[in-house]
Chain A
């Protein structure tokens, strides 16, 4: 294996072999001696007071460990931003499936019936179930006004823009909840020792989030809480904050019983009780000139956070900042709010607010195009952000991105113009209508604004006795190839063999807090820190005289061995420092929101079959500028996987709610694409580099989630000549729209005269 040129090549995945041989151990593959199994008794009503709890007949309750809110040693909360979510309901419940009691028993098979046998009587209270009901405020279910958080982003003079406008275009766009559907359900194993404290092992994205919440729940010092990530079978954001809930539950049972406890959900429970993507409603009102330039606009962006605040403020933030997309807005006013409803709290899902607001924007751009009588291509071209221009938060685009050229390339790759013309001709005679649609967008990598500074991530690289180096981060692998890419970065930086770099398991006892594995930050932010820490190892060796200015991999290895033999294991740490040019005003919500953006143009070609009203995606072109591709196979996998989820978001994945409870919580009835449903997805990268990321890489994990839904729905409108502004778009919805004339009249209207 050669050194140098490791980054940029598809090196063998470190984590790969265990996964293809079935050796990888996920939490439900693991047993500890004397382990009990735990289960959760949950609310059956959306809102009310708990009146009475009865432990019913048919169960030998003496054999069970039972935990309630009274058993919580510390604060009864899931520590996150504002600590409003209880770990266990204490007297009141605010959503169906809210955890009330915990049970444990040595025989896993006895638990389902025991859970059913707990009889809880409630005094129900009126509940609210969607954004509109929450806004009415006839029931206040959270705080003083049902609003978890709101933001106002302002730039320029919007009111002047109305005056100047030749057209004012309005539209309302909605997106539904979406279930992450990682194939491995949530699970945790916990152990409690009166001296050593709490240890948990399980499926998770953010060991230090779980750590923080257990510290508060148990009122323990940090050193007496240990969190270890086990092999995690998919996450996509669904294991960002929920693991703190299930870890707390398992740990409480472990504490009460004195035995290790495993809680592993089945699919029915995981779908019913855990977080989903926030449903959204976006209202656009845009001032446009007759030559199609955006003069200004107002955007009202509202998301449904469920019963407790959890991560909603951050989802709202990202969604609001992305609401203006890849265009230049001379003036804008974005009013964003997250509201409470009596449904299980919503949470992170790849994209984290941006897929919602970008769906709205990209549909709205096509609407503007129609009103102004320009093509969807032209309207975008005329408004693209250019280097030197500022975003909606006033951030200057300081990289040489040329969206116009990217658009040209995407059009050429997708044969856009020829197809659009051909489809228009051929559709007249056919019951299979074809269409082609486009989405242009960006995605900011890393935490928003001052988030990275607040996280203050620390990473370590360690020299080991055998001469290898080991990476110490809390960043987790759950399919994206974290371990592989971070090792590539270090091997490249130190010019050593890739095989001689390893990475420690994310165990809070062993690794520093490099921040959560979210926000597309791992390669860009953590990777850059890891690179820095690795160079620190080299500096130490050079300073000690064991290494020259140039060296071979073997010499490096020998130097590490020698240093360790003399001084013991040695570590180089690196801590995040906000680059000076990233300045953010948290009060005014202005400035540089993200250190770097990836940019993309996606093109979707669809067929709408008017016999069944079903949409199939026949071809998909995904072109993105990502700074640098560090591992081509992994990068391509991220893009295609994200696009598959985006197509699901657009056409298949509907959460059917009734009184706050998901009705279709089984894989039979919650529809994601199978291998027979996805046409080839063609992926192309451009690489402009970037100073803030390791080897110029920008984050790509979430980018592919933003474009597919609007591209597909734009294509459906192209095929049918009918606009659709709500996803998921099911065949039944298409049928209703085509046959219901009233629906067809909800088109854009024009105010103001042509000047």
Chain B
């Protein structure tokens, strides 16, 4: 433990509006901390620059899930366990709950929040590709206003987002229109649990009369931000799934991503595996399609 608790302030006003007031009064001064599974790791290593933190853990306004006919609004303060345990979220947004089950061990899933994942903007975060393919929208709030933003526009660069200094993510809104799609997610990490991903894929597909009517692909750990593979989707959309298409899609995906060498893996490995994961998805989509005929 390399931090001195005596140097840190942790405010816990207890309501969302009180927290937002604090952020409005001193924008950029207070670091919000929810479950702490990211912030506290930095803190314990003596590498947390912020000395003033404000707790947003367990705020009722943030830790709830609202279900409407068209949309499920997941509060940013929901933990991964909250997601996994919610009947509708686990039935209709299986990519998200699968990713939630990949994140750390059970103890970290009980504390880590979806909002935390979103705000950190790490390209390796497991749940973010799922949000991309579900075309999530974020509700951002501050003391002054509330605004809605397409999640796909939220990350601007490595760990950089469009979040204003006085803002918090209140909810992640998920459209229910993908519930009939074929869903496939896969994470490749160094081991089966508690692994930061080397490559991960979230994918949705729908076949109509044997051709790909719609396909959505997003990957983690292959670019400075979680990446929607729009080129690869373009190449696949409207076509029938055959060996040549699978090869083409695989190659396109490998070319579309911008992976790097880092402490966990290499760029060329990530390219190859990304291509393989896309191929695997298309093969399974094809089989699923045939099973429905």
Contact = CB atoms under 8 A, between A and B. Distances in A.
Interface string A95-127: 000000000000001101100000000000000
B191 interface: yes
A743 to B, nearest CB: 13
The SS class assigned to the B binding surface is loop
Contact of B268 (A266, A675, A735): A735
Contacts of B5: 109
B277 interface: yes
Interface in B196-211: 196
Nearest to B46: A112
A610 interface: yes
A674 interface: yes
B196 A732 contact: no
Nearest to B192: A676
Contacts of A652: 190-191
Interface residues of B, number: 29
Contact of A610 (B3, B193, B263, B276): B276
Contacts of B255: none
Contacts of B196: 668
Given A613-B273, A652-B190, A674-B192, A669 B2 contact: no
Contacts of A656: 263
A669 B263 contact: yes
Nearest to B271: A735
A674 B194 contact: yes
Contacts of A674: 105, 191-194
A612 B277 CA distance: 8
Given A112-B46, A612-B276, A664 B265 contact: no
The SS class assigned to the A binding surface is loop
B276 A266 contact: no
A262 to B, nearest CB: 14
A268 B277 CA distance: 35
B33 interface: no
Interface in B208-247: none
Contacts of B194: 668, 674
A739 B188 CA distance: 19
Contact count band on A: 20 to 34
Contacts of A736: 268-269
Nearest to B4: A109
A231 B69 CA distance: 59
Interface in B242-285: 263-266, 268-269, 272-273, 276-277, 279-280
A113 B264 CA distance: 29
B107 interface: no
Interface in B107-157: none
B24 interface: no
Nearest to B199: A612
A664 B276 CA distance: 28
Given A266-B1, A611-B277, A671-B195, A109 B190 contact: no
A579 B253 CA distance: 69
B191 A663 contact: no
A614 B3 CA distance: 38
B103 to A, nearest CB: 13
A677 interface: yes
Nearest to A671: B190
A680 interface: no
Interface of B: 1-6, 45-46, 105, 188, 190-196, 263-266, 268-269, 272-273, 276-277, 279-280
9 contacts: A112-B3, A113-B46, A268-B45, A668-B196, A675-B193, A677-B192, A677-B193, A731-B269, A739-B272
Given A112-B46, A732-B269, 11 more contacts: A109-B6, A266-B1, A268-B2, A613-B272, A652-B190, A668-B196, A673-B191, A674-B194, A675-B193, A677-B192, A735-B272
Interface of A: 109-110, 112-113, 266, 268, 610-614, 652, 656, 663-664, 668-669, 671, 673-677, 731-732, 735-736, 739
